[in-house]
Chain A
Amino acid sequence: MKKLWLLLPLLGLFPLACPAQTAEEKGLEIAVEADKRDLGWSDSTADMKMILRNRQGEQSERAIRVRTLEVQGDGDKSLTIFDHPADVKGTAFLSYTHAVKADDQWLYLPALKRVKRISSANKSGPFMGSEFAYEDISSQEIEKYHYKYLRDETLDGQETFVIQRTPQYKHSGYTKQMAWIDKQHYRVLKVAYFDRKGAHLKTLTIKDYKQYLDKYWRADRMHMANHQNGKSTTLLWSKHRFKSGFSDRDFDRNSLKRAR
């Protein structure tokens, strides 16, 4: 009981030492909550179809399969297998994302049977010629951004928090991002990207969220519109599966060579 007495003054002081929450603290709190709600899925697999459209409306398609291993305390590991177009069939990409330091990335080239470690400094580069940059689709760790709560907003009938994210990692193509996160489930519904000059570059709209294992929300449709070049890319996700029992062994250079 004596020990509790010691705590009392601390409890009394706490509100004084901690004045009203700043916009930065609230922004971080929202990001932490969103992250917390998506913990514990262990591993996942999904198929993705990518539809690329240019300014003239001409389309081309890509198909990939992604499997991901949740890594506690660091970025996730992922293995991407390319299925379409036919000339890239069999190519595979292994990535160990990290919160702050550079990601580790290997590419498997089936024609040469060669595993090549590649530089991960291409974060702002386009993924498979699409309007998605590598940094848009890689694992979103809390430490990657500084956050700031901006306002509440109703988006398509859903109550959302609007927060600003400032990339803290090297080689980002953005000065800032604005994210709309729904208040009920803490899912990202929309992101606006601002380029190195501060101009509005792209808008990502995320739709058709579905809940898996009574907990995890995954979207079936992501649409990225580039406002500067008039191109857009739609990602259609399907066959989401979780907890298949993958281990680190399924995400090493040997499994990269075997990936089909």
Chain B
Amino acid sequence: MSIGPGRVSTSMRGCVALMAGFMLGLQADAFCADFVVQVGAFANRGNAERLMTRLGEVGVFNTRLWDVGRPARTLTTVLSGPFSDREQAREAQLELARFGYSGFIRGCSVALPAQHYAAKTEPESSTTPSIAQPAPTPQFVSAAETVRAEGARSEWTGNVNLEYRTFFHSPGDPRQHGDNVSLSAQPELYYAWNNGRDSLTFVPFFRWDQHDDERTHLDIRELMWLTARNGWELRIGVGKVFWGVTESQHLVDIINQTDLVENIDTEEKLGQPMLNLALIRDWGTLDTFVLPYFRERTFPGPEGRLRMMPGVDPGGAIYVSSREQEHIDFAIRWSHSPGDWDLGLSHFTGTSRDPRFTPGTREDGEVVMFPIYDQIDQTGLDVQATKGSWLWKLEAIRRSGQGPSFVASTTGFEYTYFGIFETPMDVGLVMEYLYDDRPKDITAPFADDIFAGVRLTLNDVQSTEALLGCIFDMDSSARLCNVEASRRLSDHWMVEFEVRTFQELTERDPLFSLRRDDYAQLGLSYHF
């Protein structure tokens, strides 16, 4: 006996009220006006739950359990759906079949009397994994009981990257090399349940470097449990947080330590252990952070390029706090987006992510730089106003505890000319002023500088993009320039190109040791 959509629809109305408050916050009529694929029916609810879990493992998440029968003799059905029409239900049925699960399509027949239901089920019962004796009279379980049927889903993604770097000049230290090959991998495992409101994310990172032993490293970028509810979100674990709006430098961003061996642009970060509670209200989001463990900055080893000279010995780190890496840091941030403004106000108290340096002699007699991690207080403000094609940006910080208190800021704009010359291409102009009232040194290299850049977005099928920019020192003729470009080769492959040059650096410049480290880099990455 087949189930015709016409026959089932007459019974749909009946279950509307009964299903009110249905799990997933799904409104009842949305479910009942639809079709479902019944994958199984069990006398033992545990078996039904196990089937649902197995379905989740193969990527079928839209499943739910539905009980029929008297409390003593409940029959639990595993339903996939709802689907708006029979055709979609059939597609889902075929997909289930591909995973080895046979199911059959029905309307919202949970409202049918059990005899009716059984009569409809029986002829196709051979397709279900297990069929129990149907109960003689229908009775619906409460909505609360079905809540545990909410679907879970997991995802396995990531990327592998191969890069080749060639330097334009011979190295300043004979231990360094003229070119370099490196390979990195960053897989990502994501598991969500409770309809995505709870999730677990695991992102390990590994890099192998041909010459630099410090750059060959392993890190846990993320190992985070997140639970989100209507007015709050809680994150516990290791993760990454970004704050800020500007492009040339990120002053306000302070939660994570920089993984400097990755890229001198300081945008790569190490995973930070944290407990983060976000309160989400009409007046904005208030994030509070407890940061129980400090991560030391990574520095290139003796054979690595793009480093200070003498090189930094990360093993000899000096801490102002006697608790060293175990000092517990705190941060709080309010952020809000009224109209076309984005605002953020933050405060951090704890171990400075930016070290100062002191020269010293290591046991083996080599002169090295030791990083000093101070205890600081930093207040940060970030503002963006989005006015048509103009983005106006400001980031400012005030930091105390690292020498005399100081103020630093980045102020600027980005203007985008969309569809230039009647082509789909966008051209963006970025200009920012970098200010720091500390005397210029390696911890504050951009005290009075201007960044000017051009961003090209081709808006083509390959998503070709390029950013060309230079930071000009206003007090000398020194300039740092870079080009970053990327283009998709296929569904999984991307090619990336990068050039950085350090020009006209005088002996007084804090970045003087980089003067011979101009390089070009070609990267090939595979995304899965």
Contact = CB atoms under 8 A, between A and B. Distances in A.
Contacts of B333: none
Contacts of A249: 230-231, 280
A89 B155 CA distance: 11
A129 interface: yes
Contacts, number: 140
Interface in B167-222: 190, 192, 196, 199
Interface centre among A87, A116, A170 (most CB of B within 10 A): A87
B454 interface: no
A244 interface: yes
A74 B340 CA distance: 16
Contact of A102 (B199, B388, B426): B388
A32 interface: no
A105 B492 CA distance: 27
A213 interface: yes
A243 B32 CA distance: 12
Nearest to B27: A243
Contacts of A52: 461
Interface string B366-384: 0000000000000000001
A249 B229 CA distance: 9
Interface stretch (A8-16, A17-25, A119-127, A139-147): A119-127
A26 interface: no
Nearest to B232: A254
Interface in A117-169: 117-122, 124-126, 129
A84 interface: yes
Given A242-B30, A244-B30, A245-B25, A260 B192 contact: yes
A113 B240 CA distance: 7
Interface centre among B233, B386, B488 (most CB of A within 10 A): B386
A49 interface: no
Interface string B477-493: 00000000000100110
Contacts of B71: none
Nearest to B526: A86
Interface residues of B, number: 62
Contacts of A102: 340, 388
A54 interface: yes
Interface in B1-55: 24-27, 29-30, 33
Nearest to A114: B242
Interface in A207-242: 210, 212-214, 238-242
B461 A260 contact: no
Interface centre among A54, A118, A212, A258 (most CB of B within 10 A): A258
Given A87-B527, A117-B342, A121-B388, A239 B88 contact: yes
A122 B157 contact: no
B285 A253 contact: yes
Interface residues of A, number: 55
B85 interface: yes
A86 B528 contact: yes
B418 A85 contact: no
Given A86-B157, A113-B240, A260 B199 contact: yes
A249 B337 CA distance: 14
B196 to A, nearest CB: 7
A7 interface: no
Nearest to B157: A89
B386 A119 contact: yes
B84 A173 contact: no
B241 interface: yes
A120 B379 CA distance: 31
A38 interface: no
A4 interface: no
Given A87-B494, A102-B388, A213-B33, A124 B419 contact: yes
Interface string B312-356: 000000000000000000000001010010100000000000000
B112 interface: no
A258 B426 contact: no
B459 A245 contact: no
Interface string B506-528: 00000000000000000001011
Nearest to A257: B233
A125 B26 contact: no
A252 B280 contact: yes
Given A117-B342, A260-B190, A254 B280 contact: yes
A29 interface: no
Contact of A238 (B88, B335, B386, B418): B88
Nearest to A124: B419
Given A89-B527, A126-B459, A258-B233, A214 B33 contact: yes
Nearest to B339: A104
Contacts of B84: 210, 212, 240-241
B178 to A, nearest CB: 29
Nearest to A115: B242
B388 A85 contact: no
A147 B343 CA distance: 39
A185 B157 CA distance: 43
Nearest to A88: B463
B196 A244 contact: no
B463 A125 contact: no
A245 B29 CA distance: 11
A99 to B, nearest CB: 15
A177 B389 CA distance: 25
A255 B231 CA distance: 11
Given A85-B492, A119-B386, A244 B27 contact: yes
Given A117-B342, A117-B391, A119-B391, A243 B29 contact: yes
Contacts of B242: 112-115
A35 interface: no
Interface in B221-250: 226, 228, 230-231, 233, 240-242, 244-245
23 contacts: A54-B461, A85-B488, A86-B157, A87-B463, A113-B242, A114-B242, A118-B386, A118-B391, A119-B416, A119-B418, A121-B418, A122-B416, A124-B419, A125-B459, A129-B461, A129-B463, A171-B418, A210-B84, A213-B33, A241-B82, A241-B84, A244-B27, A245-B26
Given A117-B386, A238-B91, A249-B280, 7 more contacts: A87-B492, A121-B418, A129-B459, A129-B461, A254-B228, A258-B196, A260-B192
Interface of A: 42, 52, 54, 60-61, 84-90, 102, 104, 106, 112-122, 124-126, 129, 170-171, 173, 196, 210, 212-214, 238-247, 249, 252-255, 258, 260
